[in-house]
Amino acid sequence: MALPKLDTPTFKLKVPSTGKTVSYRPFLVKEEKILLMARESKKTNEVIETLKKLVSACVDDVDPNKLTTYDLEYIFMMLRSKSVGEELEIGIKCEECGEMVPVSINIEEDIQITKTEMDSKIQLTSTVGVILRHPTVEIVSGLNTEDPMEVLMGCMESIFDDTTVHNLQEYSKKEIKDFVDALSIKEVQKIQDYFEAMPKLTCDVKFTCPACGHENTVRVEGLSNFF
């Protein structure tokens, strides 16, 4: 006689970058084992590959490679909420004394995707500019994600001047690198402003430090702080 099969509930979420509604299920024991291995890794690409596997297994009608990095992070947090529980304890340093304080947050109520709209067309000089895109999982996979210039080059769609728009798919990596290497610090900063304004996971936390009594208000950003 076959053993009984357990029913797995399904839920819905909206993909932040597109607004598309998709169905998902909690991850199971076999998938949690993969996640535990990722937590032990300090390599960004290994963590991304693990999250891709979880999304492929648990979310319907989504190609993880086409998701933006913040889509992937948000979907993982929703999976974590339904799989492990909505409450998550994180450690935050007191602004006053530096004491690491454990703080409990509610994933679905407290964690949000902040959005700051910024034009993807960046005018670098009076005649030359670039058109950028938010980094997708496909772009960052295989890149040296610790090198911001690598990510920058991967997110450049085209370079334009007064007369021509240069589609960068038609140029070699070396040609693109030569262009980037010739940028001034101020021009690079204009591009960095675009990435700094990119949507991200955030949580505004208020807590009282038990060591010094300081009332803290801290914004926590990025998946690594919630992982």
Predicted confidence at residue 25, as pLDDT, reads 93
Residue 33's pLDDT band (cuts 50, 70, 90): confident
Is the separation of the CB atoms in 125 and 184 below 8 Å? no
Structural domains in the chain (count):
2
**Whether residues 78 and 135 fall in one domain:** no
Identity of the residue numbered 207:
F
Does residue 166 form part of some domain?
A: yes
Does residue 71 form part of some domain?
A: yes
User: Residue 22 above 90 pLDDT?
Assistant: yes
Q: How far, in Å, CA of 69 to CA of 21, rounded? A: 18
Does residue 47 form part of some domain?
A: yes
As a whole number, mean pLDDT of residues 1-19 equals 83
Is the separation of the CB atoms in 165 and 158 below 8 Å? yes
User: Residue 39 above 70 pLDDT?
Assistant: no
Does residue 115 form part of some domain?
A: no
Average pLDDT along the chain: 89
Q: How far is CA 85 from CA 28, 82, 89, 92, 205, in A?
A: 13, 6, 11, 20, 19
Predicted confidence at residue 41, as pLDDT, reads 63
**Phi, psi (5° rounding) for residue 118?**
-145, 135
User: Residue 52 above 80 pLDDT?
Assistant: yes
User: Residue 28 above 80 pLDDT?
Assistant: yes
**Whether residues 18 and 74 fall in one domain:** yes
As a whole number, mean pLDDT of residues 6-19 equals 88
Q: What percent of the chain has pLDDT over 90?
A: 67
Q: How far, in Å, CA of 27 to CA of 25, rounded? A: 6
**Whether residues 79 and 144 fall in one domain:** no
Radius of gyration of the chain (CA): 21
User: Residue 34 above 90 pLDDT?
Assistant: no
**Whether residues 130 and 70 fall in one domain:** no
User: Residue 44 above 90 pLDDT?
Assistant: no
Q: How far is CA 163 from CA 22, 115, 128, 160, in A?
A: 42, 33, 10, 8
Does residue 153 form part of some domain?
A: yes
User: Residue 170 above 90 pLDDT?
Assistant: yes
Among 85, 111, 135, give the residue marking a domain's end.
85
**Whether residues 27 and 77 fall in one domain:** yes
Does residue 38 form part of some domain?
A: yes
What's the domain range around 176? 121-196
Residue 35's pLDDT band (cuts 50, 70, 90): confident
User: Residue 3 above 90 pLDDT?
Assistant: no
**Whether residues 80 and 20 fall in one domain:** yes
Residue 224's pLDDT band (cuts 50, 70, 90): confident
Does residue 6 form part of some domain?
A: no
Predicted confidence at residue 114, as pLDDT, reads 87
**Whether residues 125 and 181 fall in one domain:** yes
Does residue 220 form part of some domain?
A: no
Predicted confidence at residue 6, as pLDDT, reads 62
